[in-house]
Every structure is written in C-alpha cells, then in structure tokens.
A and B are shown apart, each in its own frame.
Chain A
Amino acid sequence: MIKGGSRTTDKLLMERSVADRTGTVIPPLDVPEQPLLSSNLLRSNLQLPEVSEPEVVQYFTNLSQMNFSIDTQFYPLGSCTMKYNPKVNDEMAFLPGFSNIHPLQSEDSSQGALELLFKLQGFLTEITGMHGVSLATLAGAHGELAGVLMIRAYHRSRGDHSRTKIAIPDSAHGTNPASAAMAGFDVVTLPSDNNGNVDLEALNRLAGPDLAGAMITLPSTLGIFDENIVEVCKVVHESGGMVYGDGANMNALLGRVKLGELGFDVAHLNLHKTFSTPHGGGGPGAGPVCCVESLTPFLAAPVISSIAGKYSLTTPEHSIGKISGFHGNFGVLVRAYTYIRTLGAAGLTSISGNAVLNANYIMESLKDKYYLPYDRRCMHEVVFSADWQKTRGVSGLEIAKRLLDYGYHAPTMYFPLIVHEALMIEPTESETKETLDAFIQALINIDEESHQDPDLVQNAPHTTPVSRLDEALAARRPNLKWQAAD
C-alpha cells in the first residue's frame, strides 16, 4: 500500500526537509546572553532535517508498519527466544522513580533502585545455582567477554600464565570465539559427536595445562541437552580449567536444572531472551554474569551489596574492572525483575516445560517432511535441515523467505554451522497451539510447493514491502548514509 505525501516512507528525512519547518519548540533564553566562544571553535553548518512534528510521527509510524515483530507475527527464531514481551515490564521501567534518576546521585537517594538490583542478583544466582553475580554487562556477548576475562584473571591470580587456550564446540554461536579472542585466548574447536554432544574423547585430548577452560552452551545450539555435561565439566576441572556457560538457551532449563550444580563455574544470562525484555530491533539487552564462589572476587564492577540494611555499589576485590560506563542496563534489569516477580518458581518451570513441549510438537509434526539430522527429543528448539528440499532445488534460505509470504518470520537459517541447510525453530512457551498448528501447516505447504512449484519458493518472498535485496551490491558499493546529489 503506497501512501502519498508525508506518509510515504520513500523519502528520507533529509529529502523531505523543508527550510524553517520545525518539530519542536525550544524555550526562550531566560538568562542574559553570554559571550560566545571564538568562531574557530564553533561549527558553521549543521546537517539535520527540518520537519514538523506531525511529519515525524507519520514517517516513523509508517516505517514501523514495515516491520515484522513479536506483537504482530510468530517469530520462531531459534536461539533468540522470541517470547511475549509483557507490557507491565515496560510500564515499570518507565516509572519516573526508575527512568528519571541519575547513576551518580547519592546512594541514599537511590536505595529503591539498589534494592531492586540486589534482589535481582539474588534471583539470578538462585536460578543458576551460583554464588555471585554482576549486572554490569550490557548484552550476552558483553557477559561472555567478562566471563572469559574472569577466567583469565583467576588463573593469573594463581600464578598460572600458561593457560592460553579456550575450547569451544563447533556448534557454538559466533560470539563465543569472538569473545575468547578479545580476552586474548587461542580458540580450539571441540567437535560434536554423532548425537550432537561434545566429543568427550576430543575434549580429553585437549584437556591439559594450557587449557584455561571451555565455553559450553546448554542445551547446545542444536537444541540438545548434552547428557555427558557433568563429565564434560569434570574433565575440564580435572585439567585445572574452568567451565563457562553460554546461557542463551536458558529457556529450556528454567527450574529444571541449575548450571552451578552441573559444574559450570561462570555463566551469562540473556535477559532479552529468557527473561522477556524486548529486543527493540537489536537491543538494548542485558547479559548478567553469575559465577561460583572462587570466581566471585573477579566479577566486573559494580556489584550491589547490602550492609546493615543499606544497599551500595561495590567493586569486587580482584575485579576485572569496569566493563561499562555506569551500572548496567538498569531499564532492562527492572523489566527482568518484574518478569520474575510475575512468574515465580512455578511460572519459570512452566516456561521451560511448555517451551520444550512446543518445540517437540513441531519436531514430531514435521519430521516426515523435513530432514531431522538429530532424531531425538529436542529441548526448546529443533534444528531441521532442508536437504530433502535441496534435492528439488529449493534451499533453506528460500524456504525461510517463503515463510515470510505466509506471515511468519523465518526461523534461524544456516546456524549452527555444523548442520547443512539448517533451519532452527524455537516456538517459545507464549504461543498458542493454534499458532503452532498453522505454522506447521505452512511448512507442509511449502514442502508441497517445493515439489509442485519450486519456482514460487525459489523467488520468494512475493508479498513483502520489498523483494529479495541485492546484498552483493550493498557490500561492493557501500552506501551507508544519505548524501545530497552533487
């Protein structure tokens, strides 16, 4: 639907700009005008648009309508946990007592904020079965970086400078090796066995005095709970290393098992996945890091402590340091707190139960039509391969694009890397059975199309605001900002 005038999204802000339009009223200067700085310190031109307020609202509102979102579509993105984002969480985060406070105002004047954070710390260590936690990390990858820096600092504190390697499964999310590299480690790859578990033999070979630790995602990115996980942790510990847990898939484990009890030493949680805080088109998130007692002194600053009923920001004794400008993504932390208070233990356990049930239901309903490389109970997500459709010339990518025509956001594609033509589906617990059934039917239809009319699938999507975009052109001739034609 093309809308005319200022409601069209075709023209960019600088293109729809008209001199002297303004979108705000600046209050008048109420103090005597002061001498300006010398002109060599001042700018002469400023390229910002000139548009009125209604135009701003129309433009952005119309842009929003070009997006898929959880509120508008089923979003079965594996490993992203696209569950319902409760509105009460946002309402609470917007309370002036939370949004209109300054990070450096006195602790006396922010006891409410500090108490909430302190209690949230307690919830997260309880959920993970760990001892200490820092809320300072601003995303999952940020938490990973903190966690591996903590492992590094721990070894060095014991005079051990020889541990230069971190073992990471071949199925891991790209942030794992990227974070390990940023923490100065060499990454060694851990192969997966035929069941999708960590290859214990390979791990045993890698375990040695140069192994700082391993980064394990549980359940794995294949959606499988590694039944040898206790042994994995043991092997790493026996060689003197520490086990880092990537908590991205925590939605499958809430209330079912505690990472700390299995042997994990340090783990991050993704509040914008498991704990329902909104994705916002790519953030903000929060990636708090929980750890066992031996690593607690190394946590990133600040950690909230409680002394004689007063809450304050403290720096752990051997902290790896500040890793963000202030205290963490407070607005996101408020949302997660609200969510946990809404659900309690029974609710969290119900999340994992239903998330896993829904994923298995999809798995069972589609395994006749789509190749299942690991034909066993999955956890909260299921990984299919489009290999069968590929023999008819239809790839996983094309199936994903065709799903857009059916009104579903595509599942995660081509990840994990070890599955050919991977399609990773994570329904979450907040979707109805009707939605799951409709989605299953859509995929059955697309498989049918791959037989009868492969062309239709290969050239999908057909109904979206734009069709397939030329990514090669975008990379070859980068056009990264609007510029006036000369």
Chain B
Amino acid sequence: MNPDDRKYTKEHEWVKIQDTTSNLAVVGITQYAQDQLGDVVYIDMPDIGSNIVHMEKMGEIESVKAVSDLFSPVSGEVTKVNGELLDHPELVNEDPYNEGWILQVILSDPQELEVLISAGEYESFVEEA
C-alpha cells in the first residue's frame, strides 16, 4: 500500500530520491495522512529557493475543519513546488504518492535519510497508532 521506493517519517511524510548524483528528491504526505485530514482544501508550501530543515515545520496543510503542520523529512533547498495543488488541492487526497507530490528539494545532507523509516516500518507504526 505504501510504495517501497521511498522513505517515511512518523509525521506521515515521505521522501523519494529522483536522482542520487544531484541529490534531488521529492516530498509528499502519506495515504494515511490524507485519510486522517479529510478533504484537503489548501496547502501552504515553502517558497522556491528557501531552505527546509529536517523535522522542522515547513508549511501547513488544511482540510475543511483542521490544520496540520507539515514537517520536513529532510534538509535542503526547495527547487520546485507542485503548482497544480493551488488549483487542485484534492490531488493530495486522490494520489498522495504521485500527482499529489508537494515539493522537490536538493538534499543538503543525504545521511538524514538513514534515520527515516521504510514502508514496512511505517505500516507497523500506523497500525499501532
């Protein structure tokens, strides 16, 4: 259910490496997260060119009745944000692992990936919750 090709955090985000040489990665939220949030109506994303920091707040995600902080799974410089989400925030609900990606980042410290958990570990974590 949660794709194996990426790493996860206990804050329900995922990060997927696109290119190991340039340390380019993509970040989003998990299936469980979007389900808990309900219909996503707005995502407050960091600016392109800004720096995000591992496990620090990088933005917010709003549903009709709730607001959640978005915590960055990695540190680095934001190179792209998913502009589609401005007009179609529902993509996060419909396809959180693909079309619903949130931002692209150049990792400043790829070692950080090692403390993140695998799809299997994430699934167990969610089950226990």
A and B, one complex? yes
Which residues of A does B touch, CB under 8 Å?
414, 471-472, 475-476
- Chain A residues near B63: list those with CB within 8 A: 472
Contacting residues, chain A, for B89 (C-beta < 8 A): 476
B64 within 8 A of A: yes
Whole-angstrom distance between the alpha carbons of A472 and B64 in the complex? 6
Whether B90 lies near A476 (C-beta < 8 A) is yes
Q: Closest residue of chain B to A397, judged by CB?
A: B65
Minimum distance in angstroms from A401 CB to a CB of chain B: 15
Whether B90 contacts A472 by the Cβ 8 Å rule is yes
Q: How far is the CA of A476 from the CA of B62 in the complex (A)?
A: 10
Q: Which of B64, B88, B90 makes the CB contact (< 8 A) with A471?
A: B64
Q: Pick from A414, A471, A476: contact of B42, CB below 8 A.
A: A476
Chain B residues 57 to 102 lying within 8 A of chain A, measured CB to CB, are 62-65, 88-90
| Residues of chain B having any CB pair with chain A under 8 Å | 38-39, 41-42, 62-65, 88-90
Contacts of A476 in B (CB 8 A): 39, 41-42, 88-90
Contact in complex: B90, A475 (CB < 8 Å): no
Of all chain A residues, which has the CB nearest B62? A475
Chain B residues, Cβ within 8 Å of A471? 39, 64
Contact residues in B for A475 (Cβ distance below 8 Å): 41-42, 62, 64
Cα-based distance from A21 to B41 in the complex (angstroms): 41
Determine the chain A residues whose CB is within 8 A of the CB of B38 once the complex forms: 472
Distance of A34 from chain B, by nearest CB (Å): 50
A472 / chain B contacts, CB cutoff of 8 Å: 38-39, 41, 63-64, 90
Chain A residues within 8 Å of B41, by CB: 472, 475-476
Complex Cα distance, B64 from A475, in Å, reads 7
- In order of increasing CB-CB distance, the 8 nearest A-B pairs are A472-B39, A475-B41, A471-B64, A476-B41, A472-B64, A475-B64, A476-B89, A472-B41
CA–CA, A475 to B38, complex, Å? Answer: 13
Task: Write the chain A residue with the least CB distance to B89.
Answer: A476
| 18 A-B residue pairings within 8 Å (CB atoms) | A414-B65, A471-B39, A471-B64, A472-B38, A472-B39, A472-B41, A472-B63, A472-B64, A475-B41, A475-B42, A475-B62, A475-B64, A476-B39, A476-B41, A476-B42, A476-B88, A476-B89, A476-B90
- B39: chain A residues at CB < 8 Å are 471-472, 476
Distance in Å from the Cβ of B47 to the closest Cβ of chain A? 22
Bound form: Cα–Cα A414–B64 in Å: 14
**A207-B40 Cα distance, complex, nearest whole Å:** 39
Residue of B nearest to A414 (CB): B65
Contacts of B42 in A (CB 8 A): 475-476
In the complex, besides A471-B39, A476-B89, A476-B90, 16 extra interface pairs with C-beta distance below 8 angstroms are A414-B65, A471-B64, A472-B38, A472-B39, A472-B41, A472-B63, A472-B64, A472-B90, A475-B41, A475-B42, A475-B62, A475-B64, A476-B39, A476-B41, A476-B42, A476-B88
Give Cα A140 to B92, complex, Å. Answer: 38
Residue of A nearest to B39 (CB): A472
Please report the C-alpha to C-alpha distance between residue A425 and residue B80 in the assembled complex, in whole angstroms: 49
Which chain B residues border A414 with CB–CB below 8 Å? 65
A471 to B41, CA, bound (A): 9
Taking CB as reference atom, which chain A residue is nearest B38? A472
Could you tell me the distance between the alpha carbons of A414 and B42 in the complex, rounded to whole angstroms? 22
Distance of A476 Cα from B40 Cα, bound (Å): 8
Q: How far is the CA of A475 from the CA of B90 in the complex (A)?
A: 11
- Closest chain-A Cβ to B85's Cβ sits at a distance in Å of 10
Residue of B nearest to A475 (CB): B41
Q: How far is the CA of A475 from the CA of B88 in the complex (A)?
A: 11
A471 and chain B: residue at smallest CB distance: B64
In the bound complex, how far is the Cα of B34 from the Cα of A472, in angstroms? Answer: 14
A212 to B8, CA, bound (A): 41
Complex Cα–Cα for A475 and B62 (A): 10
Q: How far is the CA of A476 from the CA of B64 in the complex (A)?
A: 9
**Quick one: which of B42, B64, B89 has the most chain A CB within 10 A?**
B64
Q: Which residues of A contact B90 (CB under 8 A)?
A: 472, 476
Give min CB distance, B64 to chain A, whole Å. Answer: 4
CA distance A476 to B89 in the complex (A): 7
Task: Tell me the complex Cα distance, A471–B42, Å.
Answer: 13
Output the least CB separation between A473 and chain B (Å): 9
Q: How far is the CA of A476 from the CA of B84 in the complex (A)?
A: 12
Whole-angstrom distance between the Cβ of A45 and the nearest chain B Cβ: 30
Select from chain A the residue with minimum beta-carbon distance to B93.
A472
Give the CA-CA distance A282 to B63 in the complex, in Å.
24
A470 nearest CB neighbor, chain B only: B39
Chain B min CB distance to A418 (Å): 16
What is the bound-complex CA distance between A214 and B113, given in angstroms? Answer: 42
Within the assembled complex, what's the spacing in Å between the Cα atoms of A417 and B88?
A: 30
